[in-house]
């Protein structure tokens, strides 16, 4: 694999990832006239004392690109007089600093990951080779952002579909280097620590073992990965994908797990697209990697040692033409009430497996 780093016109970093070392050179310059990011674009973090959690503010994102027509997509390769965020006339996988980041000014970092130059593709339509290259990019950026002094947690994720809030249709994801440990991860770390104190065992290991032993919610299993609907899933259709060998983040995956991932992930995404029948259209979803927080000190080291890398995949669609809205109970109090039993969701995800 080859990694080529360059800069966009305003100084933001751009990285091309190619599967072959002899791929075409990615040396096209950014011919746009872009001013450096203004000081006013710096984000702010405040702390909510009642919830004991951080809240980010990024007012400059109000002006970000919103549903451009296909011929003005900023994630397609540059062509002729149309200059985009990708100066090259073609690419395989590209990662660049977000022009409208949620976190900036040295406190965190936000990046965009373009999975393919094909505007009309989807992650599910990628080859296993291209999915492996995306995994390589996620891993490489996780390693880099983990070393960033302003980053406490790295989250590689894909938002897919207008129902999720996606404003660019081109197949892409994002990587957030949070300047804090996110609330979901902080709660998980505390729960894992309590379980270790109480039982001497790892909570993630126990949960995975219990799901595999029960079997009713397991939807896909290989020698290296297990995918299941959690016993207490919040979303109508929600799958968690764990490597069989517990590791804290993507950088720690072994070669066997890394090689087996593309086929498993693509199969899960294709099943999601078949959940609601051929007339329902592409299934909107969020897919994101939960990784160990970053930090120094004994508590941070203990959290990393006990953490389990896993992918969370879920959709806000609960049925054909029906969405799961986070209304009063969910948005107001964080108390989820789901319309689909996890066992029924798992049954359906097994029904739509590739023949």
Say whether 172 is catalytic: yes
Fill in the DSSP letter of residue 329. Answer: I
Strands 310-315 vs 237-243: parallel, antiparallel or unpaired: antiparallel
For the four alpha carbons of 172, 177, 179 and 183, in that order, the dihedral sign comes to positive
Residue pair 346/216 in contact by the 8 Å Cβ criterion: yes
Grouping H, G, I as helix, E, B as strand and the rest as coil, residue 67 is coil
Residue from 153, 164, 165 nearest 292 by CA: 153
* Active-site option among 60, 172, 290, 310: 172
Residue pair 237/348 in contact by the 8 Å Cβ criterion: yes
CA distance 215 to 292: 27
Grouping H, G, I as helix, E, B as strand and the rest as coil, residue 68 is coil
- Residue 16 CB neighbour total at 10 angstroms: 25
In terms of C-beta density within 10 A (0-12 exposed, 13-18 middle, 19 or more buried), how is residue 229 classed?
Answer: buried
Return all residues near 162 (Cβ < 8 A) that are at least 6 apart.
Answer: 284
What are the catalytic residues? 172
């Amino acid at each position: 694999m080859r990694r080529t780093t360059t800069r966009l016109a305003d100084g933001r970093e751009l990285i091309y990832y190619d599967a072959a070392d002899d791929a075409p050179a990615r040396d096209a310059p950014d011919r746009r006239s872009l001013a450096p990011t203004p000081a006013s674009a710096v984000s702010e973090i405040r702390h909510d004392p009642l919830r004991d959690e951080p809240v980010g503010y990024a007012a400059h994102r109000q002006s970000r690109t919103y549903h451009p027509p296909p011929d003005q997509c900023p994630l397609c390769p540059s062509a002729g007089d149309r200059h985009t965020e990708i100066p090259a006339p073609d690419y395989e996988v590209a990662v660049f600093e977000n022009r409208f980041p949620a976190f900036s000014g040295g406190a965190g970092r936000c990046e965009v990951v373009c999975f393919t130059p094909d505007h009309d593709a989807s992650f599910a339509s990628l080859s296993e080779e291209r999915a492996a290259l995306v995994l390589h990019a996620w891993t490489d950026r996780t390693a880099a952002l983990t070393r960033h002094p302003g980053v406490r947690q790295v989250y590689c994720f894909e938002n897919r579909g207008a129902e999720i809030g996606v404003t660019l249709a081109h197949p892409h994801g994002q990587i957030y280097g949070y300047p804090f440990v996110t609330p979901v991860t902080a709660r998980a770390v505390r729960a894992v620590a309590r379980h270790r104190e109480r039982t001497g065992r790892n909570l993630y290991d126990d949960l995975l073992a219990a799901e595999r032993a029960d079997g009713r919610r397991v939807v896909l299993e290989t020698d290296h990965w297990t995918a299941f609907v959690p016993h207490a899933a919040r979303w109508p259709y929600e799958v968690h994908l764990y490597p069989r060998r517990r590791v804290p983040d993507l950088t720690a995956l072994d070669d066997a797990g890394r090689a087996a991932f593309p086929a498993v992930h693509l199969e899960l995404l294709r099943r999601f697209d078949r959940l609601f029948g051929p007339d329902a259209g592409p299934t909107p979803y969020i897919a994101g990697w939960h990784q160990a927080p970053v930090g120094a000190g004994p508590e941070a080291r203990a959290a990393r040692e006990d953490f389990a890398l896993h992918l969370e995949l879920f959709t806000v669609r609960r049925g054909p033409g029906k969405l799961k809205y986070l209304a009063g109970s969910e948005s107001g109090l964080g108390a989820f009430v789901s319309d689909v039993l996890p066992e029924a969701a798992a049954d359906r995800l097994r029904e739509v497996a590739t023949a």
